[in-house]
Structure 1
Amino acid sequence: MKNLRLILIYTLTFLTTQSFAQSAQNKKLFKQAFAEAAAQYKVLAQNLPADKFPKTYFPKTDKYEWSGSGWWCSGFYPGSLLYIYEQTKDQATLTEANRILKVLEKEKFNTSTHDLGFMMFCSFGNAKDIDPKPEYKEILIQSAKSLASRFDPKVGCIKSWDSNKNEYLVIIDNMMNLELLFWATKITGDSSYYKIAVTHANTTMKNHFRPDYSSYHVINYNATTGEVQQKRTAQGFADESAWARGQAWGLYGYTVMFRETKNPIYLKQAQNIAKFIMSNPNMPADKIPFWDYNAPNIPNALRDASAASVTASALLELAKYSTSKLNKAYFKEAETILVNLSKAPYHAAQGKNGGFIIEHCVGHIPQNTEIDVPLTYADYYYLEGMKRYLAWK
């Protein structure tokens, strides 16, 4: 019995030592990745027109695609610059972030989009923490007001896309925009923002998810009655398939819901979504998912590194709120994803990929756009995931 106890002690000591060594090695890898990201984003900044935002890049033709400030991804470029500055103290990245934030600021009045969380909280929300300025508070409060204007109590959701008169379209992506509303209530004391976020999350939890906790992409509500009249996809393979990035949005969104409310129903929802993702039989060994978990040509389907980066960042936060067994499982899954995103074929070589960091992302296959290219949100959540890993105790 004594010998058995000694063996167990030696085994646990060996495994713990290995774990610490692996963690230290990964932290070194991620610190280097931040340094490389600073160099990459200088390439991107040098090519960026003064009033535009990065959208994607086509390596085969060496062509960029830019957007205006009203595009839903406009907040990711300044947000990524700020994450890079926070880790590297590279002054050029902060200078560029401050420049592009001024171009973005006018979107605080934009009431035609549900994506103000992505646009304004991933940018100005990071800026208020990393490089605070008094005006950021006003900008974000106005952004929250604009976002809240799209809420309809009959439906119980913030409208995503404007469409026909009798349609009220809500997409799973919208869960990512609720964090801005929670912040607004904390800062202003106005509970209406909090109530809108909770109502939207509850309605989405009721109608967007299947029994296995995979998510529909789009719910079409009746604009008059609030009843569900259609469940479908837009960017996925089929109405009943599990679009990979949609699952990641849901995982991240309900993890934030638990953080902000401490309501255990949201923790359970996030954990169930995580189980669907992590135990999916079509998940590749390197944990970078196919663009849709039900894509017809698996294992030859395209991977979506953007879905992987969102998932990794979400799992690292979810791990903090979970029991020891789940904590370790979520951490290990996120660690594997981030390590694999930090090397070929997903991590671009220095000076390549137009200055973007991550390769092999999928935007919208049904519309034949942004297919197997870099995307700004893949970079953003990859950087966020590494930041969370480096801060892990």
Structure 2
Amino acid sequence: MRYASVQYSILYSEFIDSSKTFYPSYGYPLDYEWKSTTATNGWTQGFFPGVLWNIVEYNATRQFLQHATDVTMPTAPFANNTGTHDVGFVIMSGFGNAYRLLKFPEYLDVIVTAAHSLATRYSSIVRCIRSWNSPTGFLVIIDNMMNLELLFEASNQTKNQTLYDIAWQHANRTMYEHFRSDNSTYHVVKYNETDGSVIQKYTAQGYADWSTWARGQSWAVHGFTIAYRYTKYEPFLDKAIGAANYVLTHLPSSTDLITYWDYDAPHNSTLAYQPRDTSAAAIFASALVELSQYAPTSDLKNQFLTNAKAIVDQLSTPTYMIYGNKDYKLPALLTNGTMGPYPKSPYDVSLAYGDYYLTQAVVRLAKL
């Protein structure tokens, strides 16, 4: 976390120099600068303020409280965006953490506005929130489970039953449609928006339609853990545990805990390079810490916590960190992230969400 403070102080300076328009998205470790977005474009801009709030929660200083506030506030207009499901990612990483820590009512106002924006994408016929806009069907991706926190939190704070019901219905339909019998996940489910039937199950960022995209599996673990946090509905907990056990039994080895970008990509082949995805590992580690607190037995709790700590420890080595690599110039934490699908999209890069969920995992472990 000390290293995160150093690296993200550099990024904060770039943010100020850019007239508060610079939000890091992904970057190549050998470069000096991230590929960036703005406060109201894309889906990754919430993770920059999110890392800063994680730093504040770990060791609050007046300086970093100011940094976190400065970087969060420009993202507020995104709460009015009804054109994407990612409003949950953006607003909860920044304003969600800010409200949780400070309880300022103006932060809650942004969260509630964003929740109502997200709710406009719900279909009572499909019983899900639309993820991607498409003229050929109603598309729902497993990532969307993470956006339910926005609805649950807004409902919890305002006693709005409709927001709760929308989130619950989405999680419940996802539980039945996105999972295979072994608790691995499909990335995308296309529904018929006229009658709610399933048209197709496939991948957009994984290796194949039948394979398990690593980050999608981590989203599933994290998302259903969050859903259980708010609902205490046992099937959501069972699904989170099942998805987590799938990951734990499909890691490269008992000592190599950083997954490849897809669990079914042929990474043992000598003919083709397959990249890791440190963001998938960081998301999973953070989810495991929270999930351990809901585990029905002490053995399972200890298993989840032990693995979460081991993954964080492995991510924190020079193999996967900017720190300790003299050739790396990027002001970031993790390397070896993969957007997917490989090789069409950037790989072996730093990802804003990788840094965010790694620091979240560290904060969660420190609070135990």
Q: Say yes or no: TM over 0.5.
A: yes
**Aligned with 2:173 (options 199, 203, 212):** 203
Contact 1:77–1:380, Cα closer than 8 Å, also in 2:
yes
- 1:370 Cα deviation after fit: 2.6
2:294 alignment counterpart: 321
Contact 1:157–1:170, Cα closer than 8 Å, also in 2:
yes
Long gaps (5+) in structure 1 = 1-33
**Aligned with 2:13 (options 42, 46, 49):** 46
The reply to whether residue 340 of structure 1 matches residue 314 of structure 2 is yes
2:348 alignment counterpart: 372
What do residues 131-181 of structure 1 show as CA deviations (whole Å, max 9, x unaligned)?
A: 3432111111100000111000100100000011x4100000000010111
Separation in 2, partners of 1:264, 1:364: 32
- Matched to 2:161, the amino acid is S
- 1:311 Cα deviation after fit: 0.5
Separation in 1, partners of 2:343, 2:313: 31
- Matched to 1:307, the amino acid is A
Contact 1:353–1:359, Cα closer than 8 Å, also in 2:
no
- Matched to 1:354, the amino acid is L
- Matched to 2:209, the amino acid is D
The 1:363–1:39 alpha-carbon spacing in structure 2 relative to 1, beyond 3 Å, is: same
1:384 alignment counterpart: 360
Contact 2:53–2:68, Cα closer than 8 Å, also in 1:
yes
The 1:169–1:58 alpha-carbon spacing in structure 2 relative to 1, beyond 3 Å, is: same
1:73 alignment counterpart: 44
- 1:62 Cα deviation after fit: 3.4
What do residues 178-209 of structure 1 show as CA deviations (whole Å, max 9, x unaligned)?
A: 01111111111110011001100111111111
- 1:46 Cα deviation after fit: 2.3
Separation in 1, partners of 2:49, 2:107: 14
Worse-superposed segment, 123-132 or 170-179: 123-132
Separation in 2, partners of 1:313, 1:111: 28
Say which SS state the counterpart of residue 374 (structure 1) adopts.
Answer: strand
- Matched to 1:95, the amino acid is Q
- 1:366 Cα deviation after fit: 4.7
The 1:193–1:308 alpha-carbon spacing in structure 2 relative to 1, beyond 3 Å, is: same
Separation in 2, partners of 1:373, 1:321: 33
The 1:328–1:40 alpha-carbon spacing in structure 2 relative to 1, beyond 3 Å, is: same
Contact 1:309–1:382, Cα closer than 8 Å, also in 2:
yes
Separation in 2, partners of 1:264, 1:106: 36
- 1:282 Cα deviation after fit: 4.0
2:209 alignment counterpart: 239
**What is the root-mean-square deviation in Å for CA atoms of aligned residues?**
1.6
Separation in 2, partners of 1:103, 1:363: 25
Separation in 1, partners of 2:207, 2:247: 17
1:304 alignment counterpart: 277
Separation in 2, partners of 1:388, 1:249: 17
- 1:345 Cα deviation after fit: 1.1
Say which SS state the counterpart of residue 239 (structure 1) adopts.
Answer: coil
- 1:367 Cα deviation after fit: 6.9
- 1:216 Cα deviation after fit: 0.4
What do residues 356-377 of structure 1 show as CA deviations (whole Å, max 9, x unaligned)?
A: 1111100123572331100011
Say which SS state the counterpart of residue 179 (structure 2) adopts.
Answer: coil
Separation in 2, partners of 1:301, 1:285: 19
Contact 2:32–2:330, Cα closer than 8 Å, also in 1:
yes
Separation in 1, partners of 2:343, 2:9: 31
- Matched to 2:337, the amino acid is C
Long gaps (5+) in structure 2 = none
Separation in 2, partners of 1:353, 1:325: 42
Separation in 2, partners of 1:44, 1:245: 25
Say which SS state the counterpart of residue 68 (structure 2) adopts.
Answer: helix
- 1:71 Cα deviation after fit: 1.3
Alignment of 1:111-126 (within 5 A): 111-126=82-97
- Matched to 1:306, the amino acid is S
Separation in 2, partners of 1:152, 1:284: 43
**Aligned with 1:287 (options 234, 240, 257):** 257
Which stretches of structure 1, 4 residues or longer, exceed 3 Å deviation after superposition?
Answer: 60-63, 281-284, 297-300, 350-353
The 1:188–1:281 alpha-carbon spacing in structure 2 relative to 1, beyond 3 Å, is: closer
Contact 2:340–2:347, Cα closer than 8 Å, also in 1:
yes
Separation in 1, partners of 2:216, 2:253: 15
Give the greater-gyration-radius structure (CA): 1
1:359 alignment counterpart: 335
Separation in 2, partners of 1:295, 1:82: 35
- 1:56 Cα deviation after fit: 1.4
TM-score normalised by L of structure 2: 0.93
- Matched to 1:182, the amino acid is F
- Matched to 1:391, the amino acid is K
Q: How many residues align?
A: 358
Worse-superposed segment, 57-66 or 287-296: 57-66
Alignment of 1:160-199 (within 5 A): 160-164=131-135, 166-199=136-169
1:149 alignment counterpart: 120
TM-score normalised by L of structure 1: 0.87
Identity of aligned residues (%): 38
- 1:102 Cα deviation after fit: 2.1
Contact 2:29–2:335, Cα closer than 8 Å, also in 1:
no
Separation in 1, partners of 2:97, 2:192: 36
- Matched to 1:357, the amino acid is L
**Aligned with 1:135 (options 101, 106, 110):** 106
Contact 2:277–2:337, Cα closer than 8 Å, also in 1:
yes
Contact 1:316–1:385, Cα closer than 8 Å, also in 2:
yes
